[in-house]
Chain A
């Protein structure tokens, strides 16, 4: 099984990040809205694990910035969250790639928790504190979705023969 060219990979990376960002603002029913997983972040983690040279920290930061603009948050909030998760994933990637899928999902759970903690913390600092437990639901939904993300990602990045 051969890898795709770097260019195709790059294109795939950008497309999936863009798709993830779009899915972050697509209207969902009210009861589903708080559970919305951070698909852009999951896509970023996936690409850092599979093609770390393409998925650099600059792109992570930029995607977060765009999410800030899309959702009307203080500029830099999600950017910092994406950056932090990207950095830790880069540091862990050689190990994480070897993990079985469930262990990976557990690490992803931790990464998402860190991300949401950063968001929560900055929300608090800027006076938007919303402390109900419901705001931590995306951590769980994202971690549960991780195996699916890997499956979809693998089927996309593998060259169809």
Chain B
């Protein structure tokens, strides 16, 4: 390699002046970054470039897909039988629960005198497959094989069979990028299924851990509690499992250290569900549910959130919670809304702009 070939640039007449060329290109990349980050004006450019690289991503994904296809088409009879038996058993169980669920939902609607519009249950789902390509190792993002042509939109909720998976951040023509709930830039409003305590679960960058930084020491959260999506902000449908509390440490003066483990198979899932649902109306005068509304201090999202409190939670608990801050006026009412206020501020708008802005303030709030 070390030889002066005819390729070596001649001393005189080196072609375009290197430094000028460098400066021009550097300026254009800085311009691109600013345009992309600040003004979102070059989404069209990105869409074109994505279309160019799409075959590459497909090609990288192909061997994995092919292996999966081969192993599944040549699966032996015994294994299929076994699987079939298991699935039948699970379906029977699920159907049984569903019967109860239908009755409970009916009862719940009656008890709460709720309008259909506040239910936020998945109306339409689309199965998408995760492409086997690695994005940045330090961000929890995955690429799905469904895009704008399938009707995917920015901010769409993504679930898997076991819980909430993430939300769509970028939509290309035939693919879309999803931020997982464990990404450090992601935060999701949750509610304890047992006690009805509402808070925010923030990603930690660890696939098996969510952190709940805004839980006060006197909050009624225990290890083992199931956290459901609260439906606040309208990005995620309400009442789907998000995580299970694994650790509650009440050592600090104001906030407890709470960790939770996501229920969704973030590192295992192959197929996920893109969900369409009618989000609760973003702004409605918070008249009906004043106590709950004041607790979490998010006027924009109060009423839907309060009314979508999962039915399992005892009706009395949420009402009991406001009593606690009343007793200790120091921290909770002020601290809770103030800190996460940055995070969900963008959530009430279920518009396409929501996820991008959601993504940004989280670290600030988390620190």
A: which residues have CB within 8 A of B?
3, 9, 21-22, 24-28, 30, 33-34, 36, 49-54, 56-58, 61, 64-66, 69-77, 79-80, 83-84, 87, 90-91, 94, 97-98, 122, 126-130, 132, 135, 150, 153-154, 157
Contacts and interface: CB of A to CB of B under 8 A. Distances in A.
Given A53-B9, A74-B33, A74-B36, A127 B49 contact: no
Interface string B25-53: 11011111101110000100110011011
Contacts of A70: 53, 56-57, 133
B26 A80 contact: yes
B7 A76 contact: no
A76 B33 contact: yes
B69 interface: no
A135 B138 contact: yes
Interface string B128-166: 000011111111010100000000000000000000000
B6 A3 contact: yes
A57 B46 contact: no
Interface string B332-364: 000000000000000000000000000110010
Contacts of B292: none
Interface of B: 1-9, 15, 18-19, 21-22, 25-26, 28-33, 35-37, 42, 45-46, 49-50, 52-53, 56-57, 59-60, 64, 132-139, 141, 143, 170, 177, 184-185, 205, 267, 359-360, 363
A98 B2 contact: yes
A80 B29 contact: yes
Given A3-B7, A74-B33, A76-B36, A28 B134 contact: yes
Given A50-B5, A76-B32, 11 more contacts: A25-B57, A26-B133, A53-B15, A64-B29, A70-B53, A70-B57, A74-B37, A76-B33, A80-B33, A127-B185, A154-B1
Contact of B7 (A50, A57, A80, A90): A50
Contacts of A69: 46, 49-50, 52-53
Given A57-B21, A154-B1, A79 B32 contact: yes
Given A70-B56, A75-B32, A129 B363 contact: yes
A126 B37 contact: yes
Contacts of A153: 1
